[in-house]
Each structure stands twice: as C-alpha cells, then as structure tokens.
Amino acid sequence: MSKTALLFAGQGAQVVGMGRDLAEKFPSAKRYFDRANEILGYDLASICFNGPETELTKTENAQPGIFLVSWIAFQLLREKIPNLEFHVTAGLSLGEFTALTAAGVTSFEDGLRIVRERGRFMQEACEVTQGSMAAIIGLDEAPTREVCVEAGVELANLNCPGQIVISGEAEKITKACDLAKAKGAKRALPLPVAGAYHSHLMASAQPKLKSVLEGVVFNESSVPVISNVTAEPHGAIEAIREKLVAQVTSSVRWEASMRYLLAQGFTRFIELGPGTALSGFMKRIDKTVQMQNVTDVASLEGIS
C-alpha cells in the first residue's frame, strides 16, 4: 500500500497574492479567510492578497498567513478527494504547527492564534538582537559545522543535501560566509530576514510561547507528526509542548525528517501551502518518490 505524507510550508514561502484565487473560486476558502480575520481582529486576508510585501514579510503576519493558506490548501484537498488517506504530517518550522493542526492536535482557531503569537514573539526577539541568516550552498554538514564553531554561529536549517542555513549575529554571519567559501562552498548567501531564527538569539521568545501553549488544549494526534527537533514522531502531549518551545532555538532537521519517512516506506508526498520549496528539497533528497503540491487553483485541479 502506498503511504502518503502531508508536508506544510514554512516561513519564507509567503508571497503577495497567496490564497487569493482559492478564495475567489471556493466558498469554503473564503469562509476560512473571513474566520481568520474575526479570530485575529485584523484583515490578514487583505495582507495575504494585496500586501504590501513589507507588511506580509513581517514575522507576525507571515506566520499566520502561511498557516492559513496551508490549512485552506489542506481543506480543499480533502474536499477534492473525500476519501484521501494520509499517514503522517510534517512541516518546516512554522509548518510544524500546521502539521499538528491537520493531525487534530489543536483546533484551527487555536493553531492560528498560536502562530500569530509565535510570530509576534519572534519579531520582538529580532528587534532587540542584531541577527542574520545565510544559506550555505554546496558544502557538506561536517565542514559547515566547523564553520559555525569557528565563526560563533549556529546551524538553523538542515534542508537537503547541499543546502544548509546558518544563523547568528550579523557580523559573525558575514565571517561565516567567508569561511564557508574558503572551505569550498559554491555560494554563501545572506538571507533577507528580520533576524537569526533557530538560534540562541530567539531565546526570549521561548518563555512567552511556553505560556501560550500551556493555555491551549492539545489532543492526541490522528496520525504521527514529525518533530523538527528530533526528526522523529512526536510522543506524549506534554512532550509536544516542550518540543515546540525547543524548536524556536533548535536546528530544523528537515532532511533527516524526510529520510526517516523514506525509511518508513513513504512514497507519496503532498506539499501544502504557498511555494514549492519542500518539493525542491525532496528532489535533492530522493528523486524517485511521488511529489505533488497544492498552492493555488491550478495545482489543486491537477492533483488526484
């Protein structure tokens, strides 16, 4: 039997206009955008549809916006394929919260509120630190770790072979890029981000997020959900909360997560939400699997 995994987009996937055609064509999508506006008390739908880009890119808007569009893509996929069977969920950083919501651990309403607050706490951490990130292209993990130790920065995302993201203080990231090139990296590209995500510079967000999560009802998941921190399925409910707090400063072990699923016999992966970054990562991890995505009307209509 074919085993299907649902993958949910992470921060950085946001793009002005995301979800607009889905809301225009599908009444259920429009209802979710309207409901999100009610829950949050501001017009998130307009920011997703119309920007401006500077507003959408703010962490406090990008995170709930991507969560919302990804959730709607999930719901529309279920409408299109009523007998859809999926056996695990996973998401990149922010996407882990969507994955947990899709597995029934939190309600849509609570999931949306959590990611809005998470985004706000991380934005606050960005504003009091001088952080940055960079993508290291074409350098293996071991020498990249050596670069991090030498420059005093951290591994943020282990996305796929040949693509690792580092995070830390801005001037140290500049040094790390130079060191990576000297060790043979094809490219070392500073990223246009607000701060040093998945590093110790985000630590001030953790107790605030912990407090929010303690006030939310968590349920047993309907399917396993992969943790970014461990690259394995989450365990008990209380441990989920702990891992989500740890995730703020921990490395996102995406490649290891996907290799875990491949080892478990998963052969079909569906990426949900804006962009196709996760599909691109999978091509670098294993080209033989079936990879699909739902990001807009055209991609939804093309899936079966």
Domain boundary among 167, 190, 213: 190
**What is the rounded average pLDDT of the residues 73-87?**
96
Per-residue pLDDT tens digits for 190-239: 998 889 999 999 999 999 999 999 999 999 999 999 999 999 999 999 89
Instruction: Output 98 or 193, whichever has higher pLDDT.
Output: 98
Per-residue pLDDT tens digits for 5-24: 999 999 999 999 999 999 99
Q: Which domain covers residue 153, as residue numbers? A: 131-190
Asked if pLDDT for residue 74 goes beyond 80, the answer is yes
Residue carrying the six token digits 């699923």: 261
**What is the rounded average pLDDT of the residues 148-171?**
97
Same domain, 138 and 212: no
Same domain, 141 and 273: no
Same domain, 149 and 266: no
Average pLDDT in the chain: 96
Same domain, 181 and 251: no
User: Residue 192 has what pLDDT?
Assistant: 83
| Nearest Cα to Cα of residue 280 among 254, 260, 242 | 254
pTM of the predicted structure, to 2 decimals: 0.96
Per-residue pLDDT tens digits for 19-62: 999 999 999 999 999 999 999 999 999 999 999 999 999 999 99
User: Residue 31 has what pLDDT?
Assistant: 98
User: Residue 130 has what pLDDT?
Assistant: 92
Same domain, 104 and 184: no
Domain count across the chain:
2
| Local structure of residue 270 (DSSP, 8 states) | E
Q: Which H or E run contains 45?
A: helix 44-50
Rounded percentage of the chain residues whose pLDDT exceeds 70: 100
Same domain, 114 and 216: yes
Q: What's the token pair of residue 124?
A: 């606050």
**What size, in residues, is the chain?**
304
Q: Tell me the longest C-alpha to C-alpha distance in the chain.
A: 54
132 carries an active-site annotation: no
User: Residue 238 has what pLDDT?
Assistant: 87
Give the span between the Cα atoms of 259 and 244, in whole angstroms.
Answer: 21
Per-residue pLDDT tens digits for 239-264: 999 999 999 999 999 999 999 999 99
Same domain, 19 and 112: yes
Kindly name the residue from 70, 132, 167, 198 that is annotated as catalytic.
198
Q: What's the token pair of residue 246?
A: 């740890």
Residue carrying the six token digits 């939190």: 106
Q: What's the token pair of residue 17?
A: 């206009």
| Nearest Cα to Cα of residue 180 among 200, 201, 197, 155 | 155
211 carries an active-site annotation: no
Supply the CATH number for residue 176's domain.
3.30.70.250
Kindly name the residue from 70, 93, 132, 227 that is annotated as catalytic.
93
User: Residue 1 has what pLDDT?
Assistant: 67
Asked if pLDDT for residue 101 goes beyond 90, the answer is yes
